[in-house]
Chains A and B, each alone.
Chain A
Amino acid sequence: MAPDIAEEHRQLRRMRAASLLEGSTLLLLVVVAVPLKHLAGMAAATAVMGPIHGLAFLVYIWMLIQTVSGGGWSRSETIRLAIAAFIPFGAFVNERALARRQKALLAPG
Chain B
Amino acid sequence: MDYLWLKAFHIAAASVWIGGVLIAAVTIGALMASRNAAEAPGRSAILDAVRSWDRRVTTPAMVLVWALGMTLAIHGDWFGARWLTGKLVLVLALSALHGLVSGSLRRLGRADATPPSSRLRHAPAAIIVGVVAIVLLVVIKPL
- Report which A residues bind B (CB closer than 8 A): 4, 7-8, 11, 51, 54-55, 58-59, 62-72
Chain A CB within 8 A of B12 CB: no
Q: What sequence of 0s and 1s flags, for each residue 11-37 of chain B, a beta carbon within 8 Å of any chain A beta carbon?
A: 000000000000000000000000000
Majority SS at the chain A contact face: helix
- Chain B residues, CB < 8 A from A58: 66, 95
Partner among A51, A54, A69 whose Cβ is within 8 Å of the Cβ of B104: A69
Point out the residues of chain B lying under 8 angstroms from A63, CB to CB: 99
Residue on B nearest A2 in the bound complex, by CB: B111
Residues of B within 8 A of A (CB-CB), count = 24
Using Cβ atoms and an 8 Å threshold, which residues of chain B touch A68?
103
Taking each of A8, A63, A67, A70, which has the highest tally of chain B beta carbons within 10 Å of its own beta carbon? A70
Shortest CB–CB separation between residue B141 and chain A, in angstroms?
A: 23
B 60-118 contacts with A by CB, 8 A: 62-63, 66-67, 70-71, 74, 95-96, 98-100, 102-104, 106-107, 109-114, 116
Find B96's partner among A11, A65, A67, A72 (CB 8 Å cutoff): A65
What residue in chain A is nearest B117 (Cβ atoms)?
Answer: A69
Other-chain residue from A11, A51, A65, A72 in contact with B113 (beta carbon distance below 8 A):
A72
Quick check: B70 and A4 within 8 Å, CB to CB? no
Smallest CB gap from A54: residue in B: B70
Contacts of B116 in A (CB 8 A): 69
Q: A51-B74, A70-B107 are in contact. List 10 more A-B contacts (CB 8 A).
A: A4-B112, A7-B106, A7-B110, A55-B70, A62-B62, A68-B103, A69-B100, A69-B102, A69-B116, A71-B107
> How many Å lie between the Cα of A4 and that of B100 in the bound state?
19
List A contacts of B103 (CB < 8 A). 65-71
